[in-house]
Structure 1
Amino acid sequence: MRSALLFLFTLLILFSSDLKPQSDTTSISLLPNKLSILEKALWGERGLFRITGLAPLTPQAREKELKLRRTMLSIHQLGGFTTLGLMLVSAYYGKKVFDGDYSAVNKHRSLVRVTIASYTLTALLALTSPPPLVRREKGEGSLSLHKTLAWIHGAGMIATAVLGRQVRESKTIDDYNRLKKIHMGVAITTFTALASAMIVITIR
């Protein structure tokens, strides 16, 4: 009797230990080793889409996710060029205001709002897209540069908007002239960073 119980206990241990590696292997093969904070929150093993059942972590679901990722990143790229065009037109009217043509103020402000909305939606497409199947440790050169430039034009978009408000709310002529020069300089830097980011990711 004791031998039978010992045999059954041994089988139970072997069976349970055989199941665990399979589960871990499946998880590792379906998701990359490293996930960003947002990717983990949305697409991780215990992410929002997993626990709600909207995107179960299965090979079939991951195959659909990778197709969705390609679509979202393609739209992200198109959105980048759209935002770049909007920034260019916005800068045109901004330069008019800078040169003293205040009749262009409303057009400039409206275009800035549309540009910010386009930029935000474009960024969200990349940030919320499903993770790849495999993520390289160091990443590709052009992709790494694209992400670095994203930090620059992201900070630039925020700084440009804040400076634009400060220009409007400036109390003296000296403050107005000083701030509008800084505002234009930051806007040019932001545009250059975004344009460079689009170029490096397109020609890779």
Structure 2
Amino acid sequence: MRVRTAKLAGSAAVLTVVSLLAPCLRAQESEATLSGKVTDSSGAVANAKVSVRNLATSQSMEAQTDAAGTYSLAKLAPGEYEVTVSAEGLAPKKENVILAAGASLTFNAELSLLPSAPQAQPQTPANNAPNAPPGNKAPSLGDLGFSPADTKSNPKEQALLDKRTHMLKIHQRLGLITTIPMIASVATSINAGGRNTSNTDRTVHMILGSATAGLYFTTAYFAIRAPRVEGAKSRGPIRFHKAMAWIHGPGMILTPILGALAYSQKNNGERVHGIAKAHGPVAIVTAGAFGAALLSVSLKF
């Protein structure tokens, strides 16, 4: 009797254990596994994030790749999943897969580099704008008061402006050089025009005056021959500079002529007389007008 009771108790215990383990065994048989490898153009991608989302239940799981780029997600319920693979510096990849009950699916992903961001275009420096303050930039038609519409299709006018600018720069530099013999000529005029002057003093004064006249007319050539740009208007100091030219221009013509007359009279032992006596005053007025014209474009007011 006792033996029979013991057998019944043992059978009951076995049935109880089997009934408890059966659901677990059935669950293990229905679970699926997703594994694979993540790579890019250079090889395996470590520390990539692999996440799965069950489209039916919205439950999600995630894993991270190892140094070899492999990953594994186990204990997944069968069904359709959205798999997302991402890594730093790489474009993410998203794809749907279907896991069958008890299946082990391999899903490999190759990621590509993120598209490079467009480089910022260099901006035109502010000092290249037509209305920018004076600097090292080349002058433009806009500096002369032309609108952008006027200058848009005027390459010929721009070429004329470039040539004019070049010639006027030479004009200005020669004008500065001309002041050297001019000042020396004015300084030597004191000894050349006195009563007790020597022929040497007069000759030195004449040579300096001739050098001044030569440089002056060379300087004037570049101003006169510089091409004109239609529509350009003279403003400020330039207008004054041109106005002074009407004084020192005729004066520079008269001064050598009157000086030659005075030189001839002195060499003949005569006193300077007649129109030749105007040589000194004309020379002073001419030098003053020339100096004022030079300062008007050399200094900023």
TM category (shorter chain) comes to 0.5 to 0.7
Q: Residues of 1 paired with 2:275 and 2:192: CA distance? A: 13
Match of 2:294 in 1: 198
Query: Which stretches in structure 2 are left out of the alignment for 5+ residues?
Result: 1-140, 145-152
The answer to whether the 8 A contact 2:202-2:263 is kept is no
Whether 1:78 and 2:173 are equivalent positions in the alignment is yes
Offset at residue 110 of structure 1 (A): 1.6
Q: Residues of 2 paired with 1:92 and 1:79: CA distance? A: 20
Whether 1:65 and 2:168 are equivalent positions in the alignment is no
The structure having more radius of gyration, on CA atoms, is 2
CA RMSD of aligned residues (A): 2.5
Relative to its length, the structure with more helix (as a share) is 1
The answer to whether the 8 A contact 1:98-1:180 is kept is no
Match of 2:229 in 1: 132
Q: Residues of 1 paired with 2:156 and 2:287: CA distance? A: 38
Q: Residues of 1 paired with 2:275 and 2:193: CA distance? A: 11
Q: Residues of 2 paired with 1:133 and 1:168: CA distance? A: 45
Q: Residues of 2 paired with 1:73 and 1:79: CA distance? A: 10
Match of 1:110 in 2: 207
Offset at residue 93 of structure 1 (A): 2.0
- Write the deviation string for residues 155-180 of structure 1: whole angstroms up to 9, x where unpaired: 11111112112212336734x16666
How does the TM-score come out when normalised to structure 1? 0.63
Match of 2:281 in 1: 185
Offset at residue 60 of structure 1 (A): 3.8
Where do residues 35-50 of structure 1 align in structure 2 (5 Å cutoff)? none
Q: Residues of 1 paired with 2:162 and 2:299: CA distance? A: 22
For these two proteins, the number of residue pairs brought into alignment is: 146
* Structure of higher RCO (CA pairs closer than 8 Å, 6+ residues apart): 1
User: Amino acid of the residue matched to residue 142 of structure 1?
Assistant: P
Whether 1:120 and 2:184 are equivalent positions in the alignment is no
Q: Residues of 1 paired with 2:276 and 2:214: CA distance? A: 22
Offset at residue 188 of structure 1 (A): 0.8
Q: Residues of 1 paired with 2:274 and 2:186: CA distance? A: 18
The answer to whether the 8 A contact 2:210-2:256 is kept is no
Other structure's SS at 1:173 match: coil
